[in-house]
Amino acid sequence: MPSEAEGGAAPSAGRLGRRAGAAAHGAGAPSFLYLPALREMGQRFTLEGDEAHYALRVVRLRESERATASDGAGFVAVLRVEHVKPDLTVVVESTSEHPRPVASRVLCGAPEGAGAHVSGRADWVVEKLGELGVTAFQPIDTERARWPVPRNERWERLAIAALRQSRSAWRLELLPAAGLVEAMAAARERTRWLADASGPAPPDLALPPDEPCVAAIGPSAGFTDPERKALRGGGFAPIRLAPHRLRTETAAIAVAALWAARRSPVGVDRSARQA
pLDDT of 7 reads 39
153 pLDDT higher than 80: yes
Q: Work out the percent of the chain whose per-residue pLDDT is above 90.
A: 69
Top-confidence residue, 121 or 265: 121
Residue 9 placed within a domain? no
pLDDT of 203 reads 65
Q: Are residues 85 and 112 in the same domain?
A: no
Q: Are residues 205 and 125 in the same domain?
A: yes
Q: Kindly tell me the sign of the dihedral angle through the C-alpha atoms of 169, 171, 172, 175.
A: negative
Q: Which CATH number fits the domain that encloses residue 75? A: 2.40.240.20
Q: Are residues 225 and 147 in the same domain?
A: yes
Q: Are residues 235 and 109 in the same domain?
A: yes
Residue 48 placed within a domain? yes
Strands 88-97 and 75-83: antiparallel
How far is it, in rounded angstroms, from Cα 76 to Cα 89? Answer: 17
Average pLDDT, the chain: 85
> What value, to the nearest 5°, has the Cα angle with vertex 198 and ends 197 and 202?
75
Q: Number of structural domains, the chain?
A: 2
pLDDT of 209 reads 73
Q: Are residues 143 and 159 in the same domain?
A: yes
Question: Predicted confidence band at 161 (pLDDT cuts at 50, 70, 90)?
Answer: very high
Task: Average the pLDDT over 10-24 and give the result.
Answer: 41
How far is it, in rounded angstroms, from Cα 107 to Cα 194? Answer: 10
Q: Are residues 229 and 244 in the same domain?
A: yes
What H or E segment, with its residue span, contains residue 130?
helix 116-131
* Residue 13 burial class via C-beta count within 10 angstroms: exposed 0-12, middle 13-18, buried 19 and up: exposed
Residue 204 placed within a domain? yes
Q: Are residues 84 and 210 in the same domain?
A: no
Rounded-to-10 torsion of CA 10, 16, 19, 24 = 140
The answer to whether residues 91 and 44 touch, using CB atoms and an 8 Å cutoff, is yes
pLDDT, one tens digit per residue, over 60-69 is: 999 999 999 9
266 pLDDT higher than 60: no
pTM: 0.82
Residue 246 placed within a domain? yes
**Residue 34 belongs to domain spanning:** 14-97
Stretch among 8-22, 138-152, 254-268 having the lowest mean pLDDT: 8-22
How far is it, in rounded angstroms, from Cα 2 to Cα 6? Answer: 6
Question: Predicted confidence band at 25 (pLDDT cuts at 50, 70, 90)?
Answer: very low
pLDDT, one tens digit per residue, over 166-199 is: 999 999 999 999 999 999 999 999 899 999 998 8
Q: Are residues 122 and 211 in the same domain?
A: yes
19 pLDDT higher than 90: no
15 pLDDT higher than 50: no
End residue of a domain, out of 81, 97, 113: 97
Top-confidence residue, 46 or 23: 46
End residue of a domain, out of 56, 71, 97: 97
